[in-house]
Structure 1
């Protein structure tokens, strides 16, 4: 890092590649073509005489030297924002809030964002669906929703609630394949299940199904929306958090002899960021939406009366 300092316009491109995880996404945000993004990154690498960014089919990852430049770019960006505020041209809520969360929570994130921006339209909110735990301590995101407490002392965690998940299917599928509306211990083998793509981990819904003898998986997708649509079209059974069941009236919850385990979710953020008005405000809006979701879940649980059949 001993050569000349890159220009801000190039640093801004590197910053967006880091934030968005790919040249394509960074280009969309900046209004540039992918080739222009690549050219800007190449210019920085040429100036510094080293490789900074590696492109793969899964996205882009940055070398340690590139992360140092990202920190520099973030500092410069914050300085520009502070200068605009000092001149009276800004608001303490102006800027971007990046939220990292599982795909299934995207509707809740959209609702929280809509509510917050009615009050503060100057805030820009980015909700990113990621299967990995982003490094909040290194500020890869401002807010994270995750199924476990953080281990870093730099972060704070606020419980959002314990999520109950059920299996749902269309009335058409149930009439054809599961008229009892109940899954007993020996009923998993003949049924079709719509699952997340990829290798299942120990606590994943797919692993839970495999342990109970499920073998038929006609549709796999990393998109929760796609799995729900497939279920509505009668392709099989799909996992859905019961608090969201009211939003999908075309799907019917089935009874389970062994309920799927519940998981407690947390809202996590860097301790220093909780004093930033826009981040604190978006976090509060997310908590409000989740509180309503937990109330809907409790109501759904109270009303649900699964059919029971005798063990075979």
Structure 2
């Protein structure tokens, strides 16, 4: 007799057991009793004709062959979420938009969402900032801001522009550690820097600083809010997009002998989503907000060059 195809309800239970590591925890998440979880797993194993899960006093773990089912369940789960976001009422703008981006873009995304919902209150917007970029090709999110072009053939990238960064510090730190407010080629080793956590491949702004002799990093965090708080408290120099300093008057920009590298960003989304009205229009709104920021950045740079000392604050 041929094995039955697994039912989604049973796959969902298997997926939660894999994620939580026990029948009890999976049941609590799904609103099921432990015995019901065990019964569902047993039914799935019977349908497929092989053991999938082992239980012990330390928890539950899956057979290696069961991980293929986990991958299938995750893809199906993502497809269901995307389908629910795409659905809506009579309005073409009804539904959800999920955007993934780096921490420093949260304020811009919130501004875009505010403007968009004034016109389309039926749209629900989810803004997520994660250490791991979500998989846009499998529709974990509808769009994302990326620091480079995607390699997937199902994704499209719209250039947003280049962000110029500067180094900033509090008056207290500058008075103590950098009264000249100028960072020369030989000054990096003597300064404290507030940076992101190390990236898996040893990339990112901290590496640029290390290449110039920096070695003192008293505070690391993947949260922009935490880094700003530390810098405002006098813990060191922090990297910040030029133009956003107006939101942080406690920080002063430092002049640099070697300018920081600019970063080009893209708005990336699945090809199919360009036809969805709310996705297409929200992308335009986000692009407008980003363009306004770039204009502010250019204005700040021009003003900095006009001031005596070439940017002394």
TM range (shorter): 0.7 to 0.9
The answer as to whether partners of 1:188 and 1:213 remain within 8 angstroms in 2 is yes
Q: State the distance in 1 between where 2:185 and 2:218 align.
A: 21
Name stretches of at least 5 consecutive residues in structure 1 with no aligned partner: 24-32, 56-61
Change (3 A) 1:111 1:46: farther
Larger Rg: 2
Which residue of 2 is the match for residue 29 of structure 1?
Answer: none
RMSD over aligned Cα, in angstroms? 3.3
Which residue of 2 is the match for residue 26 of structure 1?
Answer: none
Change (3 A) 1:13 1:221: farther
TM-score (norm. length: structure 1): 0.78
The answer as to whether partners of 2:164 and 2:297 remain within 8 angstroms in 1 is yes
Per-residue deviation, 1:171? 1.3
What count of residue pairs does the alignment treat as equivalent?
279
Change (3 A) 1:40 1:122: farther
> 2:29 is matched with which residue: 8, 14, 37?
37
Change (3 A) 1:154 1:303: same
The answer as to whether partners of 1:181 and 1:307 remain within 8 angstroms in 2 is no
Q: State the distance in 1 between where 2:83 and 2:208 align.
A: 49
TM-score (norm. length: structure 2): 0.78
2:246 is the alignment partner of 1:246: yes
Q: State the distance in 1 between where 2:178 and 2:107 align.
A: 29
Which residue of 1 is the match for residue 56 of structure 2?
Answer: none
The answer as to whether partners of 1:201 and 1:207 remain within 8 angstroms in 2 is no
Which residue of 2 is the match for residue 96 of structure 1?
Answer: 96
2:263 is the alignment partner of 1:266: no
Which residue of 2 is the match for residue 68 of structure 1?
Answer: 72
Which residue of 2 is the match for residue 224 of structure 1?
Answer: 224
Q: State the distance in 2 between where 1:68 and 1:264 align.
A: 35
Name stretches of at least 5 consecutive residues in structure 2 with no aligned partner: 46-51, 54-58, 60-65
Per-residue deviation, 1:215? 1.6
